[in-house]
Amino acid sequence: MNKKQEFTQDQLTLFDVKILEHMKKPGPLMPVLHDAQEIFGYIPLKIQKIISKKLDVSIATINGVVTFYGNFSVEPKGKHQIHVCLGTACYVRGSKNLMETFENHFQIKDGETTKDGEITLCSTRCIGACGLAPVFSVDGHIHGSGTVAKVHQVAKDLEELKDEPECVD
């Protein structure tokens, strides 16, 4: 996604409250990073600098943790996230074909987000449902015994979600 994302004052205020809560306990870095990922959708350098200043931890240390763990991202993720397992059990049962079907449908590669910022496609090494191989997940919902037909249906369902107007409170 190429457009620069700005953060709202509400997001920054909530994040500051979360940091202060975690600073009362030992080892606040990981919980703060989890909160940052949840609040902002990713952890760019701007947010890493805030964490560094508040926790008195070097940006190098923070960036090392952020880039080491797969559940953290320095790039914005889509509104909907698809994870295709390419672990051994899934791979031998055809998950590579499922990945290629998603890639072709959304015109993105592994690790990319659609231009509209709606869909992010990522491979993973294990979802923890090997008995249901091949497996993929959409927004945390696991789809077992995956087939190309199932991928097409899920992709169609996601396309329909994009066309629905968003509810405003």
| Residues contacting residue 6 through CB under 8 Å, at least 6 positions apart | none
DSSP class of residue 127 equals: -
Per-residue burial over 11-24, b = 16 or more CB atoms within 10 Å of its CB, e = otherwise: eeeebeebbeebee
Residue 3 has pLDDT above 70, yes or no: no
Q: How many domains does the chain have?
A: 2
Position 51 confidence tier, pLDDT thresholds 50, 70, 90: very high
* Average pLDDT of the segment spanning 54-62: 97
* Domain assignment of residue 31, yes or no: yes
pLDDT in tens, 20-50: 999 999 999 999 999 999 999 899 999 999 9
Same domain for 85 and 123: yes
Parent domain of 51: 9-68
Same domain for 126 and 105: yes
* Average pLDDT of the segment spanning 64-89: 91
**What count of Cα atoms within 13 Å lies in the side-chain half-sphere of residue 154?**
27
Q: What is the pLDDT of residue 167?
A: 55
Residue 88 has pLDDT above 90, yes or no: yes
Domain CATH number, residue 102: 3.40.30.10
* Domain assignment of residue 73, yes or no: no
* Average pLDDT of the segment spanning 101-123: 95
Give the span between the Cα atoms of 26 and 31, in whole angstroms: 10
> Is the bond leading into 134 cis (omega within 30 degrees of zero)?
yes
Same domain for 87 and 155: yes
Our separate counts of H helices and E strands in the chain read 7, 4
| Residues contacting residue 30 through CB under 8 Å, at least 6 positions apart | 65
Same domain for 109 and 35: no
Same domain for 55 and 87: no
Position 54 confidence tier, pLDDT thresholds 50, 70, 90: very high
Give the span between the Cα atoms of 109 and 30, in whole angstroms: 29
Same domain for 145 and 90: yes
Give the span between the Cα atoms of 29 and 51, in whole angstroms: 8
- The phi-psi region of residue 56 (left if phi > 0; otherwise alpha if psi is between -120 and 50; otherwise beta) is left
